[in-house]
Amino acid sequence: METKERIKKTLEDLLKIEDVQACFVTGRQIGTVTPESKAKLKNLALWKLIMDTTHKFFPITEDFYMYGLSRLYFELKDYEIIMTFIGHGIALITIIPVLANRGLIEVEIENTSRVIKEILKLHK
Amino acid sequence: MDNQSGFKACVEVSREWEGRSVARELVEKIKSKVSDPKFILLFTTIDYKNEFDSMLSGIKESFPNSPLIGGTVAGFIAPQGCYTRGVVALALDYPNMDVTVGIGHNTKKNPKKAAQECAKAIKKGLKNSKRRSKFLYIVNSGVMIPQFPVIGQKSVIRSKLAGKVMTMFSESLTKFQRGIGREEELLEELVKLLPEYYIFGGSSYDNNKMVTNYQFFNDKVFTNVIVSIGISSDLKVSINTTYGLKETGIRFKATKLGFDGRAIREINGKPAVEELLRIMKWPEEILNDRIHRVTYYTPIGFKKRGVLHPEVMGFFMGNNIICGYKIEDPNLFLLSASGKSIIDSVDKNLKAFRNKNNLIFFITSCSVRLETIGNKIYKIHEKILSHLKTTPFLLLYGAGEDVYIPDKGIYYHINEALNVASLYKE
């Protein structure tokens, strides 16, 4: 299976989790990869904004990546955006409700990022 | 794992979504290691609630002679990794072992009767066993809080009147098989009826939402039951509990309790919530639906027979603080947890098993600890692997943990702990 297809399948598994509203992978070399199914996020304007702007964080985060940056959390009104760095210039973005049980979801975000790392062979 | 004594055990994980596919994968993996298990434990996360029937029937078709119990959990750690979505099975075979299963119904409505029903089945099933070492693995039904009309499911109700009404409503829920798990009452009765058994297990749960949970008994799915596997063998049992909680030095007295000891109505003679806020120097604004992000790190505790009983302050209803199980000593103290202390408690616990010929480890812990440390759970996984090496283990995160150690005469149903049971050969 092609790399992007394998990543899509992994993201599909993550999106099936009840409180995961949307997820995608973005990176300089692979562009943006989304799951096959539609995001559950109802606020489409917000979804578009996140999709269009996330890559703009990379010029800043790359400097911190050298110091072990692994996650960034943004809290909006009703949602939390978790940016998980999979490698240099590549991140998994997950959107969950602000009152979700984040700890539990983070375990599966970690599993997803590990699988994607394996797919991209970014494991050190 | 397969050793010279004929002991065989394996822990297998499936991440398939469909029940039949899960069953197929697990059966194939188990059969390659334990062809004819004496019993199977099966646990899933709540994501699989529509797949239970096909999953269970698929497994039982392949292992018709292997009793199976299990239920839903918030997450689990197996040798393969850490999961909050998936299915895990533990299968075990050992020639010098007799096994039977028991079930008790209506645990929330009448826990004593459920324990009696369960104990009766275990006694009957093992009455002809000549083996002396007894072990009972139990799975209870944990807390289930309904979604209330209009307000949904709330952790905090600030109105004193509404809080009082909701507390009263919560008290009556067990009549309708909802609400608190009453596991401490179940355990107390089991200990009376099966005093020679080491008892170990915990409460089934969902994804920390407390809406529902399920128990498995062979190919059947239940709610509000206790399911158990009774084991009679020549294997010794060792159990150890650690916490990773620190005493803060803040102490207070619950001067008025309600809800059969599960609601703190007054602290130091004053309305409980107001006094807690004063003691903790917390602003009133902290009382919102994200309160758990604070209270998970600050459980309260009391001691019973020298054993620390940590309690999660689950709900703030008016001036009542609702806890998960009975407070049996009004002298309470405030504890604190950190990610580091939770992770370090693994070393402290597993060191106790170093010089034993351990064959398998059953481990239970509280979903609160999982929620607290999130993806850092992999640090616990690393520590377990470094201690246990290739010995099979299964760590389940549920809604509470149960332990009875007959030679020490102590038993406890607690939260926020790490409990480890080993079956070992002398």
User: Are residues B291 and B391 both part of a single domain?
Assistant: no
Which of B337, B352, B379 is the last residue before a domain boundary?
B337
Picking from B49, B80, B84 by the largest number of A CB atoms within 10 A of its own CB, the best residue to mutate is: B84
**Largest distance between two CA atoms of chain B:** 66
CATH classification at residue A90: 3.30.450.30
Question: Which residues of B touch chain A, with CB atoms under 8 Å apart?
Answer: 15, 17, 47, 74-75, 81-85, 207-209, 289-290, 367, 370-375, 377-378
pLDDT tens digits for range B109-135: 999 999 999 999 999 999 999 999 999
Question: Any chain B CB within 8 A of the CB of A18?
Answer: yes
pLDDT at B1 (0 to 100)? 56
Q: CA B387, CA B413: separation in Å to the nearest integer?
A: 26
Chain B contact for A9 (CB, 8 A cutoff): no
Q: What is the pTM of this model?
A: 0.94
Whether B305 and B318 share a structural domain: yes
Residue where the block lists tokens 């692979």: A30
User: How many separate domains does chain B show?
Assistant: 2
The span from the CA of B339 to the CA of B302, in Å, is 22
Contacts 24+ apart (CB under 8 A), B154-158: B154/B289, B154/B315, B155/B289, B155/B291, B155/B292, B155/B314, B155/B315, B155/B316, B156/B287, B156/B288, B156/B289, B156/B291, B156/B315, B156/B316, B156/B317, B157/B315, B157/B316, B157/B317, B157/B318, B158/B287, B158/B316, B158/B318
Residue B151 falls within a domain, yes or no? no
Q: Domain ends where: B303, B337, B371?
A: B337
Cα nearest neighbour of B381 on chain A: A107
| Residue B219 shares a structural domain with residue B252 | no
CA distance A110 to A75: 19
pLDDT tens digits, A37-72: 998 998 889 999 998 898 888 888 888 888 999 999
- Res A65: pLDDT: 86
Co-location of B234 and B280 in the same domain: no
Q: Are residues B328 and B349 in the same domain?
A: no
CA separation for the pair B237, B134 (Å, rounded): 8
- Give percent of chain A above pLDDT 90: 63
Instruction: Report how far residue A116's alpha carbon sits from residue B289's, in angstroms, rounded to the nearest whole number.
Output: 34
Residues B251 and B236 occupy one common structural domain:
no
Same domain, B185 and B270: no
Residue pLDDT, tens place only, B56-81: 999 999 999 999 999 999 999 999 99
What is the end-to-end Cα distance of chain B in Å, rounded?
Answer: 18
CA distances from B274 to A96, B28, B325 (A): 32, 57, 22
B367 contacts on A by Cβ (under 8 Å): 104
One domain, residues B404 and B351:
yes
Domain that includes residue A57, residue range: 3-120
Put simply, whether A12 touches B (Cβ < 8 Å) is: no
Chain B CB contacts of A104 under 8 Å are 74-75, 84, 207-208, 367, 370-371, 374
Is residue B131 in a domain? yes
Residues of A in contact with B342 (CB under 8 A): none
Q: Do B207 and A99 touch (CB under 8 A)?
A: no
Residues forming a β-bridge with A52: none
The residue out of B337, B362, B382 marking a domain boundary is: B337
Let me know: does A39 contact A96? Beta carbons within 8 Å. Answer: no
Report the domain count for chain A. Answer: 1
In a domain, B168, yes or no: no
Would residue B155 count as lying in a domain?
Answer: no
Q: Is B38 a member of any domain?
A: yes
Q: Which of B322, B325, B326, B302 is nearest to B314 (CA)?
A: B322
Of A13, A99, A104, the CB nearest to B84: A104
Confidence band (pLDDT; 50, 70, 90) for A2?
confident
pLDDT by residue for chain B (426 residues), tens only, comes to 556 689 999 999 999 999 999 999 999 999 999 999 999 999 999 999 999 999 999 999 999 999 999 999 999 999 999 999 999 999 999 999 999 999 999 999 999 999 999 999 999 999 999 999 999 999 999 988 766 666 666 777 777 777 777 777 777 777 777 778 899 999 999 999 999 999 999 999 999 988 899 999 999 999 999 999 999 999 999 999 999 999 999 999 999 999 889 999 999 999 999 999 999 999 998 888 888 888 888 999 999 999 999 999 988 988 899 998 999 999 999 999 888 999 999 999 999 999 999 999 999 999 999 999 999 999 999 999 999 999 999 999 999 999 999 999 999 999 999 999 999 998
SS3 A3: helix
**Chain A partners of B85 at a C-beta cutoff of 8 Å?**
13, 16-17, 108
Residue with tokens 């620390």: B308
Query: Max CA-CA distance within chain A?
Result: 39
pLDDT at B241: 98
Asked if residue B106 and residue B55 are part of one domain, the reply reads: yes
Contact B83 A13 (CB under 8 A): no
Q: Are B95 and B131 found together in one domain?
A: yes
Question: Domain range spanning residue B77?
Answer: 8-143+179-242+340-425
Residue B164, in any domain of the structure: no
Residue A101: exposure state from Cβ atoms within 10 A (0-12, 13-18, ≥19): buried
**Domain shared by B111 and B252, yes or no:** no
